[in-house]
Amino acid sequence: MSVTINAHQLGRLIDKVRGHIGSEYVEVLHGIRLDVDATHLHAVASDRYTVAAARYRLNGDQQGQEPWARTIPADWLKPLREWTSAHGGGDTITISVVPGRVIFGTEHTDIRIPVADDQEFPNWRSLLTGITANIPTKFAFPAVDSRMLARWADTGDTLRVHVTTDLTAMLLFGEDFIGAQMPKRYNGVSPSGESTFEEALAQWPTLDDNNEALADLAAEMPAGDDEMGTIPEMVSSLLQQTLRSTSDLLGAPTDDPGATASYALAGVNAWTAYRLLDALHKADPRLAAQTVAELGDELEAGDFSENAWDIAAKAGHDPQAWSDDYEAHLKRLAAKRATEQAAA
């Protein structure tokens, strides 16, 4: 199984989607999916919140082949991109698949990338079909300059977007922000230079259009801890934990000091985390958002206990002594309870 593409077009495919690669903590999304069907070579990436697919139309003698797909791990993308750039833009690159490898080769050199042949990936065709299914086909489909979209990143806000008609400005709203972006006259899919959604969608006949494909993005993506995904969600979670701990503390059995202490500690920790997050958000909203996103990934990975041990050791503490002291504390509590029960 193989396809050919020139070096310039392969570089463009990688560049168009690499910004959407998922976290290292979600292995199935940590790379770029090469997906070949009867007519196109696709490069696809997703971070669970965005999905991006770029395509290259295969030459006539390559069309009609059996579909195949492999995920190029993220760690290999930099060397692959550098290798691609080292060739002339018009140089032909053959992409072939053998067990456990995807081989990118030219007449004189190649790069062999190890892959998992059975690596799964979300059904991106179904996801995009699900999103497009309920859009009126005659809906005006204005074009925007993608380079200008990057300008809104510095707002640090979650933005709402409202598109009106084809040649009027797109409005963007944030919590403390409002803006507008003018459309760019489109000259891609229809002879008139204007486009409806129906005309644009017709250019992607390879999208899965069966009823089973009406998938929801959030439902179809690998599971993650979305409660920690944004600052408002984390604030809500911490305040709920504080209130629940208070309620549990009030209802705790009076003869179980361990439970009382646990509920009190959980409430104190949740309230402390909330106050620190609130202060960080006021001082540096962008750093706060980045920290919360990284925290969500760490919690999803589940290895934060091991990381805490290593961090404590590097900071000059003795986590083993902490562990030993805590074990001794638990033994003293158990001995005390046993003495009290014997005396009763």
pLDDT at 148: 85
Residue 42 and residue 80 in contact, taking contact as beta carbons nearer than 8 Å: no
Residues 97 and 135 in one domain: no
Residue 206 and residue 39 in contact, taking contact as beta carbons nearer than 8 Å: yes
Contacts of 159 (CB under 8 A, 6+ apart): 152, 172, 173, 174, 177
Residues 233 and 213 in one domain: no
Residues 252 and 277 in one domain: yes
Residue 20 and residue 46 in contact, taking contact as beta carbons nearer than 8 Å: yes
Residues 116 and 129 in one domain: no
Residues 230 and 310 in one domain: yes
Domain end: 194, 220, 246, which one? 220
CB count, 10 Å around CB of 163?
A: 15
Residues 112 and 135 in one domain: no
- ∠244-248-249 over CA atoms, to 5°? 115
CA distance 274 to 85: 47
Residues 34 and 71 in one domain: yes
pLDDT at 207: 73
Asked whether residue 157 carries a pLDDT value surpassing 50, the answer given is: yes
Q: Phi and psi at residue 103, in whole multiples of 5°?
A: -110, 125
What percent of the chain shows pLDDT beyond 90?
24
Instruction: Compute the average pLDDT of residues 202-220.
Output: 62
Structural domain range at position 29: 2-121
Q: What would you report as the CA-atom Rg of the chain, rounded to the nearest whole angstrom?
A: 27
Residue 30 and residue 224 in contact, taking contact as beta carbons nearer than 8 Å: no
Sheet holding 101-105, edge to edge: 2-6, 92-98, 101-105, 110-114
pLDDT at 254: 64
Residues 130 and 160 in one domain: yes
pLDDT at 192: 46
pLDDT at 310: 87
Asked whether residue 228 carries a pLDDT value surpassing 50, the answer given is: no
Residues 326 and 260 in one domain: yes
Q: How confident is the model at residue 218 (pLDDT cuts 50, 70, 90)?
A: low
Reported as a single tens digit per residue, the pLDDT across 19-38 is: 999 888 788 999 999 999 98
Residues 241 and 213 in one domain: no
Reported as a single tens digit per residue, the pLDDT across 5-15 is: 999 999 999 99
Q: Which helix (H) or strand (E) holds 210?
A: none
Instruction: Compute the average pLDDT of residues 244-261.
Output: 71
Residues 147 and 252 in one domain: no
Contacts of 149 (CB under 8 A, 6+ apart): 181
Domain end: 193, 220, 247, which one? 220
CA distance 36 to 63: 10
Reported as a single tens digit per residue, the pLDDT across 263-290 is: 788 888 888 988 888 888 777 777 787 7
Q: What is the CATH number of the domain that holds 85?
A: 3.10.150.10
Residues 145 and 51 in one domain: no
Instruction: Compute the average pLDDT of residues 54-58.
Output: 90
Q: Which helix (H) or strand (E) holds 68?
A: strand 68-73
pLDDT at 255: 64
Q: How confident is the model at residue 76 (pLDDT cuts 50, 70, 90)?
A: very high
Domain end: 170, 196, 220, which one? 220
Asked whether residue 70 carries a pLDDT value surpassing 80, the answer given is: yes
Q: Total structural domains in the chain?
A: 3
What percent of the chain shows pLDDT beyond 70?
83
